[in-house]
Amino acid sequence: MYVVINTDKRFVVPNRQLSIGDRTDAARPRASALRAMFDDRPLLLTRSGSVNWITGGMSDPIDLTAASDPVWVVETDRGRTLITTEIEAPRLAHDFDLPALGWNVIGVPWFDADAPLAAAVAFSGEPSDRFITDRDSIGRDVSNDLVIERMVLSPADLDELRFLGALAGHALGTGIESWHPGVSTDFDVAAVVSAELERHGAKAVCLIVGGDERLRELRHPLAIGRTVDDAVMAVVVARRGGLHVAATRIAVRRPDDPIIQLANELSVVNRDVLAASLPGGTWGGAIETLAASYASIGRTGTWREHFQGGPIAFDQREFELAPGQETSPFWNLQCVADSAVAWNPSVHGGAKIEETYLVRDGDVELLTATEGWPLTTYEDGPQHSQVKVVG
């Protein structure tokens, strides 16, 4: 199931062909169940999150900013196929054993914007308004149902996610360790984080590095090439094989830096929201617990100042939820084992706690730990990375 590369870093990397097969096999019955909910109408998937769920992470976007994936998927009573341009179809056939994975591929002209949908209609034998899709412009939009189906991760998904979490933790730690106060710029640190991800097949789809007064004043101190003297933060959302993890690391030069005390306060919020994310609770209940926990440390309403995170996997966050949004289709959704979550409590002044955890029966598993980094361990088991004092 695995091959080992870069043994100096002791990373064990899932064999991609085998992993894709196991992951797509696990998604197949769920896709069939979703179709059954809608009278077995043809399923058309066009966005990266849903495409990578059903293909086991096969598709890598050519354009990271594109709204649609370069690969579309059609599943009908007639069978299933991939639809992509005549540019990408040969690459997929070359890089993957598509027949063994249960896929056909249809190539269409890159210059004909209507060609992918026309190919989907021809393959299914049904008009486009009969499709259930992940778009609001074609057929019936079942995006929310798709998110719910894919949030419970298969064993092969979990193998990939654990590897990616370890890699993200390593990349962040390596980036911070490369920081030479008064010498390194935020660009320098960001470059190291990105390089460590890229050399193991992952990408930073979100990378924020900043320090000093910009870290203390701004929630998103994007790198601008400024030398960092006394405090640095690195935030990453990393993607590999269609899955995502998110994590943050902060380092300071002085043991009396105010960021340390702020982070200690936030530890209460992180602990409480993790406890509310266990099976038996709901995601609406978890976000309300987060708001109440801010209030318990004297910071009522602080959640309004920054996005607070939530379930993560095939998108940077599978959905966004804020306290009071009781009409959201995800408000009463049950928290379940084998889903992943990355909460993001933060306060003005430069403190933030962000890790990716696997939700299990009765506890959570930290996926993004950094070797050698100090950890806070709660009495009930969960951990998170502390602010590190360097220099």
201-204 contacts, C-beta under 8 A, 24 or more apart: 201/13, 201/240, 202/164, 202/167, 202/168, 202/171, 202/238, 202/239, 202/240, 203/64, 203/238, 203/239, 203/240, 204/236, 204/237, 204/238
Q: What class is the 2-150 domain?
A: alpha beta
Phi, psi of 247 (to 5 degrees): -160, 160
**Architecture, CATH, for domain 155-389:** Alpha-Beta Complex (3.90)
- Nearest C-alpha neighbor of 286 from the set 245, 351, 329, 334: 334
Beta partners for residue 340, in sequence order: 358
Q: Which residues of 62-98 are buried (b: 16+ CB within 10 A; e: fewer)?
A: eeeeeeebbbbbbbbeeebbbbbbeebbeebeeebeb
Locate the domains of the chain by residue range.
Answer: 2-150, 155-389
- Type of residue found at 371: E
How much is the pTM?
A: 0.95
| Per-residue pLDDT tens listing for the chain (391 residues) | 222 334 344 456 667 778 999 999 999 999 999 999 999 999 999 999 999 999 999 998 889 889 899 999 999 999 999 999 999 999 999 999 999 999 999 999 999 999 999 999 999 999 999 999 999 999 999 999 999 999 999 999 999 999 999 999 999 999 999 999 999 999 999 999 999 999 999 999 999 999 999 999 999 999 999 999 999 999 999 999 999 999 999 999 999 999 999 999 999 999 999 999 999 999 999 999 999 999 999 999 999 999 999 999 999 999 999 999 999 999 999 999 999 999 999 999 999 999 999 999 999 999 999 999 999 999 888 999 999 999 7
**Chain position carrying tokens 């609001």:** 136
